[in-house]
């Protein structure tokens, strides 16, 4: 008999040596929030406190927490074929089936799916594939990767180079031939490609709605115009749907919202709603062709856990739930509810404005004067809201929201009320009591 359940119930040691991502460990080492349980839109910590999950963890618990169907399917899979690699000619049933389910929903012809373990892995894959595709098409000088201001594409080598959030480039950029363009200016994109020479540019990386950069929805027409510029110059359009996919924008890959047919789509997070780590790319038929139809050409790329059967089973059941429970349509309906709810916060002295309206995600931008006085204000707001029972994320100068797609109007009302209570507490506190430290995000 396994000793796991006993082990599971033991409280975690104080002063653990775990180094948290994106964390000020000096502060975190003495003050962690240790979560022990989750159900639908709720999570509990080890003191018994319950929180409304206003961010679906890190933008991914799209079907909500605690779905027994997914958990049981994973357990069944681990009990039959626990794991086996997919390099060369190996495969497993869940990986084969999930690839087909994803390809048939992707907004491109004859899509081929390459699995990875997460978003950053998938960005690396897309970048390497874009360059390898042009090399195979006798255009080896097409190596430049374009990315946008404010963009977030993970923290691997390529993602660090493609970071439009400057602090995230520290230590990088690791990858040559990367050029940044303005976030919302298709004419500038056209000019940059013209200046560089189209015969040097491989791909343009584009989040349909910029997520971690602050929840920035594109102005009308921008995505369509940028895609048209890429098409005209023969540059591959890579839609980074890591946040926007699997329902967040009311469809499968976010980019359909703009009627664009990308050359490559990058996905992760919502593909399993986080029940297992999984990511991947879909390459349109014409991008996959040199590797699928010409003998002897190998894309020398892949991660150990690519196509892991337990992760792929989680993806299969997750897609079934998204469809059966109508969660894509629900996200569309809830995007307006969330946006209107966030707008009610703009009268607060700590809030400058609210953003949202495309997809079930949004942000409130904090007041610039208060931020100048207390740069750690976003972290202070996060903690105050947490003390009052809800989880939201600091993102630069804003606070981000992306609840599970199962959240109801009542949940959103409660979320916004809790945020207001937290903001009020900070506003009433003496200004000198606000930390002047650094925000971790
Ligand atoms: C748009 C986007 N791309 C890529 C990534 C990287 O994904 P991961 O953290 O799984 O490496 C993220 C993560 O938040 C993301 O938001």
- CATH assignment at residue 161: 3.40.640.10
Domain boundary among 294, 324, 354: 324
* Number of domains forming the structure of the chain: 2
Ligand 1 close to Cβ of residue 242 (< 6 A):
yes
What pLDDT is stored for residue 171 in this prediction?
87
Q: Which of 248, 142, 277 is nearest to 199 (CA)?
A: 142
Q: Are residues 55 and 189 in the same domain?
A: no
Domain boundary among 324, 358, 392: 324
Q: Are strands 398-401 and 362-366 parallel, antiparallel or unpaired?
A: antiparallel
Using the predicted structure, report yes or no on whether residue 4 has a pLDDT greater than 70.
no
Average pLDDT of the chain?
Answer: 95
Determine the 3-state secondary structure of 405 from DSSP.
coil
Q: Within a domain: residue 131?
A: yes
What pLDDT is stored for residue 3 in this prediction?
45
The torsion defined by the Cα of 379, 385, 387 and 393, in degrees rounded to 10, comes to -50
Pocket test for ligand 1, best of 22, 59, 119 (most atoms within 8 A of CB): 119
Q: Are residues 389 and 240 in the same domain?
A: no
The two structure tokens encoding residue 158: 């390529």
Give the residue numbers spanning the domain of 184: 69-324
Q: Are residues 30 and 130 in the same domain?
A: no
Condensed to tens digits (0 to 9), the pLDDT of residues 5-25 reads 544 556 666 689 999 999 999
Q: Within a domain: residue 300?
A: yes
What pLDDT is stored for residue 370 in this prediction?
96
Using the predicted structure, report yes or no on whether residue 413 has a pLDDT greater than 70.
yes
Q: Are residues 34 and 91 in the same domain?
A: no
Using the predicted structure, report yes or no on whether residue 227 has a pLDDT greater than 70.
yes
Between 86 and 1, residue with greater pLDDT: 86
What pLDDT is stored for residue 173 in this prediction?
81
What pLDDT is stored for residue 82 in this prediction?
98
Residues constituting the chain: 441
Exposure b/e, 292-306, CB count within 10 A at least 16 = b: eeeeeeebeebbebb
Q: Within a domain: residue 387?
A: yes
Q: Which of 139, 138, 235, 234 is nearest to 181 (CA)?
A: 235
Q: Within a domain: residue 439?
A: no
Residue 279 alpha carbon to ligand 1 centre in Å: 10
Q: Are residues 131 and 271 in the same domain?
A: yes
Using the predicted structure, report yes or no on whether residue 139 has a pLDDT greater than 80.
yes
The mean pLDDT of 43-49, rounded to a whole number, is 97
Of 5-14, 97-106, 343-352, 395-404, minimum mean pLDDT range: 5-14
Question: H or E element: which one contains 395?
Answer: strand 393-395
Q: Are residues 95 and 108 in the same domain?
A: yes
The mean pLDDT of 291-313, rounded to a whole number, is 97
Q: Are residues 233 and 333 in the same domain?
A: no
Measured between its terminal Cα atoms, the distance across the chain in Å is: 43
Confidence of residue 202 (pLDDT cuts 50, 70, 90): very high
Confidence of residue 438 (pLDDT cuts 50, 70, 90): very low
Confidence of residue 437 (pLDDT cuts 50, 70, 90): very low
Using an 8 Å Cβ cutoff, are 393 and 399 in contact?
yes
Q: Are residues 162 and 269 in the same domain?
A: yes
Q: Are residues 302 and 331 in the same domain?
A: no
Domain boundary among 305, 324, 343: 324
DSSP β-bridge partners for residue 180: 147
Q: Are residues 220 and 301 in the same domain?
A: yes
Residue 371 alpha carbon to ligand 1 centre in Å: 26
Using the predicted structure, report yes or no on whether residue 2 has a pLDDT greater than 50.
no
What pLDDT is stored for residue 440 in this prediction?
42
| CA 362 centroid distance within chain | 14
Q: Within a domain: residue 423?
A: yes
Ligand 1: which residue has its CA nearest to atom 12?
154
Is the dihedral angle over the CA atoms 134, 119, 260, 207 positive or is it negative? negative
Using the predicted structure, report yes or no on whether residue 291 has a pLDDT greater than 80.
yes
Determine the 3-state secondary structure of 264 from DSSP.
strand
Q: Are residues 249 and 300 in the same domain?
A: yes
Residue 209 alpha carbon to ligand 1 centre in Å: 13
The two structure tokens encoding residue 181: 């363009």
């Amino acid at each position: 008999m396994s000793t796991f359940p006993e082990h599971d119930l033991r409280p975690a040691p104080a002063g653990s040596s775990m180094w948290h991502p994106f964390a000020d460990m000096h502060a975190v080492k003495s003050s962690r929030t240790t979560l022990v349980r989750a159900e639908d839109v709720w999570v509990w910590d080890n003191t018994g406190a319950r929180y409304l999950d206003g961010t679906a963890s890190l933008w991914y618990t799209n079907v909500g927490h605690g779905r027994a169907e997914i958990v049981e399917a994973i357990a069944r899979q681990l009990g039959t074929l626990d794991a086996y690699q997919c390099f060369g000619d190996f495969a497993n049933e869940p990986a084969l089936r999930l690839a087909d389910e994803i390809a048939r929903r992707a907004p491109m012809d004859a899509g081929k799916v390459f699995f990875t373990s997460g978003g950053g892995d998938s960005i690396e894959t897309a970048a390497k594939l874009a360059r390898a595709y042009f090399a195979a098409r006798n255009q080896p000088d097409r190596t430049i990767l374009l990315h946008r201001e404010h963009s977030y594409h993970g923290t691997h080598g390529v993602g660090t180079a493609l970071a439009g959030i400057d602090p995230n480039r520290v230590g990088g950029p690791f990858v040559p031939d990367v050029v940044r363009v303005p976030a919302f200016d298709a004419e500038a994109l056209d000019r940059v490609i013209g200046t560089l020479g189209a015969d040097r540019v491989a791909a343009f990386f584009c989040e349909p709605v910029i997520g971690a950069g602050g929840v920035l929805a594109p102005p009308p027409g921008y995505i369509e115009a940028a895609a048209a510029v890429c098409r005209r110059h023969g540059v591959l359009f890579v839609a980074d749907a890591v946040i926007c996919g699997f329902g967040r924008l009311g469809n499968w890959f976010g980019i359909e919202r703009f009627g664009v047919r990308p050359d490559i789509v990058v996905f992760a997070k919502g593909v399993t709603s986080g029940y297992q780590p999984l990511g991947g790319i879909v390459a349109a038929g014409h991008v996959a062709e040199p590797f699928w139809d010409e003998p002897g050409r190998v894309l020398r790329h892949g991660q150990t856990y690519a196509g892991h059967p337990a992760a792929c089973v989680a993806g299969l059941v997750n897609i079934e739930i998204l469809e059966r429970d109508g969660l894509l349509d629900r996200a569309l309906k809830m995007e307006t509810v969330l946006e209107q709810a966030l707008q009610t916060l703009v009268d607060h002295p700590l809030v400058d404005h609210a953003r949202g309206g495309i997809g079930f995600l949004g942000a409130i931008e904090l007041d610039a004067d208060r931020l100048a006085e207390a740069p750690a204000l976003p972290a202070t707001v996060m903690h105050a809201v947490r003390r009052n029972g809800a989880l939201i994320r600091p993102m630069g100068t804003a606070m981000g929201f992306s609840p599970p797609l199962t959240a109801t109007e009542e949940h959103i009302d409660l979320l916004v009320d809790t945020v207001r209570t937290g903001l009020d507490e900070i506003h009433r506190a003496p200004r000198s009591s606000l930390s002047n430290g650094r925000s971790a995000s």
